[in-house]
Amino acid sequence: MQYFSFPSSLAKITIFLIFSFVFASSANDTHEAFLECLTTRIPSNSTFTPQSIIYTPDNPSYSTILDSTTQNPRFLSSSTRNPFAIITPLHASHIQAALYCSQKHGEQMRIRSGGHDYEGLSYQSSVPFFILDLRNLSSISIDAKSKSAWVQAGATIGELYYGIAKTSLNLSFPGGVAHTIGVGGQLGGGGYGYSTRKYGLASDNVIDAQLIDARGRILDRKTMGEDLFWAIRGGGAGSFGIVLAWKIRLVNTPSTVTIFEAVRSWENNTTKKFIRRYQRRASKTDKDLTIFVGFRTTSSTDEEGNERISILTIVSATFHGSKDRLLQLVQKEFPDLGLVSEECTEMSWVRSIIHFNLFGDEVPLEVLLNRTLNFEMKAFKLRSDYVQKPIPDDVLEKLLSKLYDEETGEGYIEFFPYGGKMSKISESEIPFPYRAGNLYNLRYMVSWKDDGNITRTNMHLSWIKDAYDYMTPYVSKDPRGAYLNFRDLDIGVNVNESDYDYVAKASVWGTKYFRNNFYRLVDIKTIVDPTNFFKYEQSIPPLPPLHSAM
Ligand SMILES: Cc1cc2nc3c(=O)[nH]c(=O)nc-3n(C[C@H](O)[C@H](O)[C@H](O)COP(=O)(O)OP(=O)(O)OC[C@H]3O[C@@H](n4cnc5c(N)ncnc54)[C@H](O)[C@@H]3O)c2cc1C
Ligand SMILES: *[C@@H]1O[C@H](CO)[C@@H](O)[C@H](O)[C@H]1NC(C)=O
Ligand SMILES: *[C@@H]1O[C@H](CO)[C@@H](O)[C@H](O)[C@H]1NC(C)=O
Ligand SMILES: *[C@@H]1O[C@H](CO)[C@@H](O)[C@H](O)[C@H]1NC(C)=O
Ligand SMILES: *[C@@H]1O[C@H](CO)[C@@H](O)[C@H](O)[C@H]1NC(C)=O
Ligand SMILES: *[C@@H]1O[C@H](CO)[C@@H](O)[C@H](O)[C@H]1NC(C)=O
Ligand SMILES: *[C@@H]1O[C@H](CO)[C@@H](O)[C@H](O)[C@H]1NC(C)=O
Ligand SMILES: *[C@@H]1O[C@H](CO)[C@@H](O)[C@H](O)[C@H]1NC(C)=O
Ligand SMILES: *[C@@H]1O[C@H](CO)[C@@H](O)[C@H](O)[C@H]1NC(C)=O
Ligand SMILES: *[C@@H]1O[C@H](CO)[C@@H](O)[C@H](O)[C@H]1NC(C)=O
C-alpha cells in the first residue's frame, strides 16, 4: 500500500480552502500554483526532472503530444478548448503527485490512455483542465503458463496482441479490432471484437487490476474489494480512479482461423434474403463465427458513362476454425450469402487483426506496435442501439435509403452480432448489461472532411439524429440502450452538481449504458469518491451527503 498524506478528516477543510483560493485568484495563478506543486512533489534525480513530463502550451511539443492520440479530428486542438497542461507520468508516484496537487488547487483532471473516446472526453472539456496522459506506462508481461498477463493502461491493444503472439500463437485476447485503442479506456468500458461471441468482452476477461483511488492509494483487487472491482470493469473506470494496469485472462485460440470479406450489392434480392436470415441467426449460430455487416453508398459509372450511386453490403467475418468447416457452416446457415472459397483465407489470429487494420498480409507483426492507424480518420459522430427483434424489411429499407442523403460513402450503418458466450453471462455480472436477448448492436456513423464549416458539421450531425430518431420504435426501449465505449453525449450529460436531482438527471444517460447496474455504480461511487473528484461530462455521480437535522 502506498499513501500520500491526505487524511480524509481534512478533506472538508481542504475543499473549503480550495474554493476560497479559486475566488481569490485568477485561473492562471491557480494553474501556476498547481504546476509548482507538481514540481515540488515529484523528486528530480540525476537523469530526471519533473519538467520533462509537464507540457504547457509554451512547450514546442505541446500540440504534437496533444493531438498525437486524438482519434476524432472533430476535436483537434485548434477547434477545441485546450488543456493548460499535459502530464505524462513515468511512475505511479507521479500520478499520485498529480492527484494530490489537483485536489489541493481545485484543478480538473482528464485521464487519457489511447485517446479513442468518440466524444474526446479524455482530452477536452468545457472547463479548464489538465490531461494525465498514460502513454509512457505501457509495459506488458505475459505468463503463458498461467494464461494471464499484466498490461499497463497506456499500452495499446495492438501492443498487447503483439506481445501475446510473440509468446504463443495459440493464445489471444478478446478485445477490439483497431490496434491503436488504449487498454486503459477499452477494458474499463467493455471491449468488443471478433472473439467476443466466443469469449465475452475484454472486460469479462479482467481478473485483477491496479487502481489509484481518490485518496491516492494504490489498490489491487483484494484491497479495493469486489464492489469497486466490479465497477471498473465496464462501468467506465475513470469515474472511480486511475487504472494503472489490468491483469487479464488469455484465451485458447486455434493456431489457424479463417476470415472472409464478401462485398455484395444491396439492390440484389439475394442480399436482402441473406440480411433477413442474418438478423435472426447471426447471434444464434456457432460461437466460433462472428459476422459483421456494414452498409455504405458507393459510386460507379455505367456503360454510358453516367455516375450511379448504390449501396454496398460489406460482410466480414472471423471463424475460429478451418476454411472447410467455415464453408460448410455458412452454406447451412447463410446460403444466400453465396460465400465462395476464394473469399476465405486461413491465417493466424494475430494476422487476422493485422488484416482488419487494413495492412497487407505480408507486413511484419511489428506494425501492431505503430500507434498510428493505417488509414486516415475523418471527423465523425457515431451512435449505437441494441436490436432485440429483427428490424422489419421495409424499415431497414427506409433506414438504408437515408444513406443516399449523405455524401457518397460518408454515412455508414453496421450490425455487430451478440449471442454465444455473451448470452451466458448475467446482466449484472459486470456493469455492461446487454447480454441474452440482444441480437446485435446497431451502429450509425457519419464522417466528413472537417474544414471548420459549422453549417456543414450540423448537417452531418442532423443526418445521424434523423436516422437514430427514425429507429426509435424498432430498437431496445425503457431505457433505449447504448454501448459505453461508443460514447455519445447526445443521450445526456451531467449538468449541475448542486442540483437536488443531479443523480436523477444522470440516470437518463446512465441507465442507457448500464440499465439497473447504474444504481449500483452510484452506490459504489458514493463510497469511494464521495466528493466527486473524478468527474466529467458522463461520470457516475455520487449521492449527495446526508444533511444533519438543524
Ligand atoms: C478507430 C476506433 C476503433 C474502435 N474499435 C472498437 C472496437 O472494435 N471495439 C470496441 O469495443 N470499441 C472500439 N472503439 C471504442 C473504444 O473501445 C473506446 O473509445 C475506448 O474507451 C478507448 O480507450 P482509449 O484508452 O483509447 O481511450 P481514451 O480516450 O484514452 O479513454 C476513454 C475513456 O476512459 C477513460 N480512461 C482512459 N484511461 C483510463 C485509465 N487508465 N483509468 C481510468 N479511466 C481511464 C478516459 O478518461 C475516457 O473517459 C474504437 C474506437 C476508435 C476510435
Ligand atoms: C499564465 O499566463 C502567462 C502570461 O500570460 C503565460 O505565459 C503562462 O503560460 C500562463 N500559465 C499557464 C499555466 O497557463
Ligand atoms: C529517476 O526518476 C525516474 C522517474 O521517477 C525513475 O524512472 C528513475 O529510475 C530514477 N533514476 C535514478 C537514478 O534514481
Ligand atoms: C513516452 O512516450 C512517447 C510516445 O509513445 C515516446 O516518444 C517517449 O520516448 C516516451 N518517453 C519516455 C521517457 O519513455
Ligand atoms: C495450437 O492449436 C492447434 C490447433 O489449432 C493444435 O494442433 C496445437 O497442438 C496447439 N499448440 C499448442 C502449443 O498448444
Ligand atoms: C426483387 O424483389 C422485389 C420485391 O420482392 C421484386 O419486385 C423484384 O422484381 C425482385 N427483383 C429481382 C431482380 O428479382
Ligand atoms: C445476387 O447475389 C447472388 C449471391 O451473391 C449472386 O449469386 C447473383 O449473381 C447476384 N445477382 C446479380 C444480378 O448480381
Ligand atoms: C506508422 O504508421 C503510419 C500510418 O500507416 C505511417 O505513416 C508511419 O510511417 C508508420 N511508422 C513507422 C515507424 O513505421
Ligand atoms: C458551409 O457549408 C454550407 C453547406 O454546404 C454552404 O452552403 C456554405 O457556403 C459553406 N460556407 C463556407 C464559408 O464555405
Ligand atoms: C446550479 O444549481 C444551483 C442550485 O439549484 C444554482 O444556485 C446555481 O446557480 C446553478 N449553477 C449553474 C452554473 O447553473
Ligand 8 atom showing the smallest separation from residue 370 Cα? 1
Best of 47, 93, 95, 136 to mutate for ligand 3, by most ligand atoms within 8 A of CB? 47
Torsion of CA 484, 490, 492, 498, to 10 degrees: 120
Best of 126, 127, 494, 498 to mutate for ligand 10, by most ligand atoms within 8 A of CB? 498
**Domain 31-133 coded CATH 3.40.50.720:** no
CA of 268 to the centre of ligand 7 (A): 6
Grid coordinates 486511475 are at which residue? Answer: 242
User: How many CB atoms are closer than 10 A to CB 324?
Assistant: 12
Best of 159, 363, 368, 370 to mutate for ligand 8, by most ligand atoms within 8 A of CB? 370
Pick the more confident residue, 27 or 61.
Answer: 61
- Is the shortest distance between the CB of 363 and ligand 8 below 6 Å? no
User: How many CB atoms are closer than 10 A to CB 78?
Assistant: 8
Alpha-carbon distance of 107 to 138, in angstroms, equals 26
Q: What's the pLDDT at 547?
A: 60
Ligand 7 atom showing the smallest separation from residue 262 Cα? 5
What sign does the dihedral 328-332-338-343 (CA atoms) show?
A: negative
User: How many CB atoms are closer than 10 A to CB 479?
Assistant: 17
The H-assigned helical ranges of 212-283 are 221-232, 269-281
Residue 5: which pLDDT band, with cuts at 50, 70 and 90?
A: very low
Q: What's the pLDDT at 25?
A: 56
- What residues form DSSP beta bridges with 108? 129
Residue (of 113, 125, 73, 72) closest to 537 by Cα position: 125
Q: Where are the domains of the chain?
A: 31-133, 256-345+374-472
- Is the shortest distance between the CB of 338 and ligand 7 below 6 Å? yes
Residue 242: which pLDDT band, with cuts at 50, 70 and 90?
A: very high
- Is the shortest distance between the CB of 298 and ligand 8 below 6 Å? no
For the domain covering 256-345+374-472, report its CATH number: 3.40.462.20
Pick the more confident residue, 177 or 69.
Answer: 177
Ligand 9 atom showing the smallest separation from residue 451 Cα? 14
Alpha-carbon distance of 515 to 235, in angstroms, equals 11
Around ligand 4, the residues with Cβ closer than 6 Å are 90, 135-136
Coil, strand, or helix at residue 234? coil
Mean pLDDT across the stretch 419-430?
Answer: 98
Task: Let me know the angle formed at the C-alpha of 280 by 279 and 285, rounded to the nearest 5 degrees.
Answer: 105
Structural contact between residues 482 and 438, judged by C-beta atoms closer than 8 angstroms: no
Residue 8: which pLDDT band, with cuts at 50, 70 and 90?
A: very low
> Quick check: 201 pLDDT over 60?
yes
CA of 481 to the centre of ligand 4 (A): 38
Mean pLDDT across the stretch 335-343?
Answer: 98
Mean pLDDT value across the chain:
93
Q: What's the pLDDT at 452?
A: 85
Q: What's the pLDDT at 26?
A: 80
Q: What's the pLDDT at 372?
A: 94
- Is the shortest distance between the CB of 270 and ligand 7 below 6 Å? yes
Torsion angles phi and psi, residue 542, rounded to 5: -85, 155
- β-strand 218-219 against 242-249: which pairing, if any? unpaired
Alpha-carbon distance of 256 to 350, in angstroms, equals 10
Q: What's the pLDDT at 84?
A: 97
What is the residue type of 75?
A: F
Ligand 9 atom showing the smallest separation from residue 454 Cα? 1
Structural contact between residues 194 and 178, judged by C-beta atoms closer than 8 angstroms: no
Residue (of 44, 48, 45, 76) closest to 63 by Cα position: 76
> Quick check: 471 pLDDT over 50?
yes
Mean pLDDT across the stretch 15-41?
Answer: 73
Residue 28: which pLDDT band, with cuts at 50, 70 and 90?
A: confident
> Quick check: 11 pLDDT over 50?
no
Mean pLDDT across the stretch 74-81?
Answer: 80
Residue 451: which pLDDT band, with cuts at 50, 70 and 90?
A: confident
Report the side by side order of strands in the sheet with 54-55: 54-55, 85-87, 129-133, 108-112
Mean pLDDT across the stretch 382-399?
Answer: 98
Q: What's the pLDDT at 81?
A: 82
Best of 48, 88, 136 to mutate for ligand 3, by most ligand atoms within 8 A of CB? 48
What is the C-alpha radius of gyration for the chain, rounded to an integer number of angstroms? Answer: 24
For the segment 102-115, what is each residue's pLDDT rounded down to a tens digit? 999 999 999 999 99
- Is the shortest distance between the CB of 374 and ligand 8 below 6 Å? yes
Coil, strand, or helix at residue 477? coil
Q: What's the pLDDT at 546?
A: 73
